[in-house]
Amino acid sequence: MALKILSVDDSKTIRMIIAKTFKAFDCDVIEASNGVEGLTAASKYKPQLIILDLTMPVMDGVEMLTKLKGDPAMKGIPVIMLTAEAGKDNVLKIAKLGVRDYLVKPFKEDALLEKVSRIVQLQPRTGGKTAVKTLEDPASVLVLEDKPAIVQQITDGLNAMTPWNVIGKTTLLEAIEEVSLGTPDAVIVSLTLADDAGFNFFQELRMRGNTRSVPVFGMCIKTDGDKLHRAEQMGFSGVVTKPIDMDVLLSKLVKAMNVDTSSRYYTLEEDILLLSLPAKISNQNVNEIEHYLQPKIDEMVNAGVNKLLMDLTRCSKVDTTIVKLILATTKRCHDVNILFRIAGNSTVSGEIKSFAEAAELQIDPSIDEAKAFLHAQKSDA
């Protein structure tokens, strides 16, 4: 059953802030605008907690509290007093009335939650937004940029690779308003906006409780060293240089957002773990693949899967980094008795074999042939 909290305040704004504070929790917030309404609501709904303003018309908080404590049916309801008056005399007067705690306005929602949590147990409301875990999960990226073409490029580029929602804003006020409504998973700001709006927005984000830890990337042209340096000094999570390389941007975003990107490379097809390398492979791609390699092998072993196929058929060029990755994968598979096979076209195959350490590797010309080989091994076994 939902927790009932009675909010008694003559300010509709404060009542709405309190209702918003408990929105994420399994609570029903009942509202009253003065002491008389508050007593009626307390008697009717029997709340588990009352958050009570001090100064109100009709009947103030002190009078309501006195009447509440004089009623045997309601005197046990804990009360948190909310007051803009933090003077010593006032605090003493409130304490004598038997309140459980008090909170001075202005207050942070976190502070209210902390005080309430000491008195009642707050349970998260089910069905809320879940944290981003994989590349398939929804996420939002806020872009503050006054050039629509750049926003469009980022939107198209990210939408081609992820289901993420890209929100473009052209002015500082619009962007601030956007983060007041919700917390984006990452922010990209142009560093070349008028009046230093990009840097000002960064400071705003770092001031706000909900966006303090959101990754923020500055964006400008490669040659604008002053702005890049300033962003670094201020503590931006990173920078994105124009012209934007979408693969690089995505790599930076997923790393900062702590997104599991393994599905970009690893897929389980029946009883074979397929490791697919992209056509154009960067050092960042190789780092990501290596990062997930051991956990994926551990998962395979635990799931009883014993075949790994590395697909190089889309690759057009092989360098030392890729050969090192192949050798590392070969060794790790060998260590835990996993069957390992590589598929790649003749050019790739030739390039791999040109490295002495990889000369003995067997490379199939297509994925189907590699799969057939692995399945045949199963039959032999």
> Toward other proteins, which CB reaches closer, 148 or 209?
209
| Closer to other proteins by Cβ: residue 12 or 118 | 12
Minimum CB distance to other proteins, residue 307 (Å): 51
Query: Residue written as tokens 């690779």?
Result: 161
Q: How far is the CB of 280 from other proteins (least distance, A)?
A: 41
Q: Taking the complex as a whole, how short is the minimal distance between the CB of residue 127 and other proteins, in angstroms?
A: 19
Torsion-angle region of 258 (φ positive above 0: left; ψ -120 to 50: alpha; else: beta): left
Using CB under 8 A, list all residues that contact other proteins: 10-14, 16-17, 20, 55-57, 83-90, 105-108, 172-173, 176-177, 180-181, 200, 203-204, 207-209
Quick one: 10 or 311, whose CB is closer to other proteins? 10
Q: 13 vs 130, which CB is nearer to other proteins?
A: 13
| Closest distance of CB 59 from other proteins, Å | 12
DSSP string, 309-367: EEE-TT-----HHHHHHHHHHHHHHHHTT-EEEEE--HHHHHHHHTSGGGTT--EESSH
C-beta of 169: minimal distance to other proteins in Å? 12
Beta carbons of 68 and 75 less than 8 angstroms apart: yes
Which residues of the chain form beta strands (DSSP E)? 3-8, 27-32, 49-53, 79-83, 101-104, 140-144, 165-169, 186-190, 216-221, 238-242, 266-269, 272-276, 307-311, 339-343, 363-364
Which of residues 83 and 276 has its CB atom nearest to other proteins in the complex? 83
CA angle (120 as vertex; 131, 209 as ends), nearest 5: 40
Distance of CA 323 to the CA centre of its chain: 34
Q: At closest approach, how far in Å is the CB of 55 from other proteins? A: 6
Nearer to other proteins, 109 or 137 (CB): 109
